[in-house]
């Protein structure tokens, strides 16, 4: 499909209760490449195969969690138009100046009904492919440093008003609903998987009484073998694991969920469906989420920590 409007997830800023421990984890265990530090003390990272300057930003904080999740838009004209569309919809926006984040242009930041801060940007400095821009090599040493994900893939956010979030993302930002879960004995949507591309999802939401909570940030791996390799690396480094390795019914992706040193959950993810925007969304019932293997195909059950632990 042609990528227009909002094109893809771009970056995430995470709060670390121990920044140095977070740096070591994201660099040495997850295997990201450090790309800069700014005057505010934030540390920037990218995966080995990403072309943008950075996709993960860490900062010191008193508690773990999410500051914001950002999406890349097609160009500056699109950024301007989406800001006008958001304002017309009734969403208050704030412009962040060029350079407020390293190597990043102006950003339009706004709060959504679930209490999360989302931002859009059109410009970020790009770097060359690690294996060359001409006649590229199939392999680079960086692709084996730590878990070594290919890219920042998506986030799952917990908060209230998921019906209002759905309306905002589909009718203003141009996303489409790929899958959803209904609440017990109801047709009300309690969880959403949304895409701005033909990926299984670019962002997801689950209804939760507390606003602005992070469930996980996900990093893409290119095969099931790499997910199993990630499990070995987590075991070697004593990383606490929540679920996996297993496979989801929802999105059909292979997965491991674990926690970074500050308690932020992250996912190592592979595969997944690739729905086109004109496909009807898949409906999951609450029973299907558990006994039907929507969350965990192998064990066909719900995991208490998965449903309750957020930052």
Q: What DSSP letter does each residue of 26-73 carry, written as one string?
A: IIIIS-PEEEEE-TT--EEEE-TT--BS-SEEEEE-SS-EEEEEEEEE
- Of 11, 53, 116, 201, the catalytic one is 201
pLDDT means per 10 residues, the chain with 311 residues, are 84 98 98 96 96 97 98 97 97 97 98 98 90 75 86 96 96 95 85 92 94 96 95 97 87 91 96 87 81 72 81 94
* Per-residue model confidence (pLDDT) at position 292: 64
Catalytic residue flag (residue 257)? yes
Catalytic residue flag (residue 201)? yes
Contact between residue 110 and residue 119 where contact means Cβ atoms under 8 Å apart: yes
Catalytic residue flag (residue 208)? no
- Say whether 147-308 and 6-132 share the same fold: yes
* Per-residue model confidence (pLDDT) at position 47: 96
Tokens of 84: 């006008």
| pTM for this model (two decimals) | 0.95
* Per-residue model confidence (pLDDT) at position 111: 98
CA 17 to CA 62: how far, in whole Å? 5
Domain boundaries, the chain: 6-132, 147-308
CATH of domain 6-132: 3.10.180.10
* Per-residue model confidence (pLDDT) at position 171: 96
Catalytic residue flag (residue 131)? no
Q: State which CATH number among 3.40.1390.10, 3.10.180.10, 3.40.50.1820, 2.40.30.10 fits the domain covering 147-308.
A: 3.10.180.10
Longest dimension (CA), the chain: 56
Residue found under tokens 């704030």: 94
Contact between residue 297 and residue 249 where contact means Cβ atoms under 8 Å apart: yes
Sign of the torsion angle spanned by Cα atoms 226, 156, 33, 46 = positive
């Amino acid at each position: 499909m042609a990528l227009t409007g909002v094109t893809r997830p771009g970056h995430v800023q995470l709060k670390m209760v121990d920044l140095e421990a977070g740096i070591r984890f994201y660099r040495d265990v997850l295997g990201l490449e450090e790309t800069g530090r700014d005057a505010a003390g934030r540390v920037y990272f990218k995966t080995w195969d990403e072309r943008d300057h950075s996709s993960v930003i860490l900062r010191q904080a008193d508690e773990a969690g999410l500051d914001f999740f950002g999406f890349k838009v097609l160009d500056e004209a699109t950024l301007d138009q989406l800001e006008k569309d958001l304002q017309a919809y009734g969403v208050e926006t704030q412009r962040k100046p060029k350079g407020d984040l390293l190597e990043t242009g102006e950003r339009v930041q706004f709060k959504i009904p679930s209490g999360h801060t989302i931002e859009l940007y059109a410009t970020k400095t790009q770097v060359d492919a690690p294996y060359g821009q001409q006649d590229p090599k199939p392999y680079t040493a960086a692709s084996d440093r730590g878990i070594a994900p290919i890219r920042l893939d998506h986030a799952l956010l917990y908060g209230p008003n998921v019906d209002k979030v759905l309306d905002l993302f589909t009718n203003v930002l141009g996303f489409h609903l790929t899958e959803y879960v209904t609440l017990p004995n109801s047709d009300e949507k309690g969880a959403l998987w949304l895409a701005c591309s033909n990926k299984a999802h670019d962002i997801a939401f689950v209804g939760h009484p507390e606003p602005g909570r992070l469930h996980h940030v996900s990093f893409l791996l290119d095969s099931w073998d790499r997910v199993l390799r990630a499990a070995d690396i987590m075991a070697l480094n004593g990383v606490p694991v929540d679920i996996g390795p297993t496979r989801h019914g929802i999105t059909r992706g292979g997965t491991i969920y674990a926690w970074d040193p500050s308690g932020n959950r992250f996912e190592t993810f592979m595969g997944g469906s690739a729905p086109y925007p004109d496909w009807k969304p898949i409906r999951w019932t609450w029973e299907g989420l558990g006994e039907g293997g929507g969350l965990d195909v192998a064990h066909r059950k719900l995991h208490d920590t998965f449903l309750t632990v957020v930052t």
